[in-house]
Amino acid sequence: MGVKTHYLVSYTGGGFFGWVVKLKSGPYSHSALLKPDKTHVVDVNWYHRLKIRHLAARKGSYELTPLQLDVEKVESFIKKYLDTPYDKKGVISFIVPWIKHDPRFFYCSEFMRDLIYGAGDYPELEAILNEPTAPTKLKNTVEQDVKGVT
């Protein structure tokens, strides 16, 4: 299958928890993976476990960053973690630092960080692998490596 262009979806909208994340970390409230078909999104959020669904966001409420990812590694990672619960403690730890996230679960940008690091060539991510990674930090870090990709 080889390498194909996937997309980091960085959402700007968001409800109460999106507002909290943006207040603490920048303009993006949520991260997901848009598959090469540009129809299916892989994400995990406050309301559902990790799953694949149709992209159903208003244009203008998200930005896309192209990613060159190994398709087999992406699919293997998704299969391994499909139906993993959302890490609500991890998100709350952005504003209440003494609450620690549960390493068995993911919050959106943590899932994306690990997937991109494991399926692509994005060495800048290594510096943030072991720290809380909000959507804005993930997008900014990935874009350091993406320059020149179309």
Q: H helices of 44-134, where? A: 71-81, 88-92, 108-119
Does the domain made of 3-146 have the CATH classification 3.90.1720? yes
Please, which pLDDT band fits residue 108 given cuts at 50, 70 and 90? Answer: confident
The pTM score is: 0.85
Q: Which pLDDT score, from 0 to 100, does residue 19 have?
A: 65
Instruction: Read off the DSSP letter of residue 130.
Output: T
Q: Which of 13-27, 31-45, 115-129, 134-148 has the lowest mean pLDDT?
A: 13-27
Q: CA–CA separation, 88 vs 33, rounded Å?
A: 19
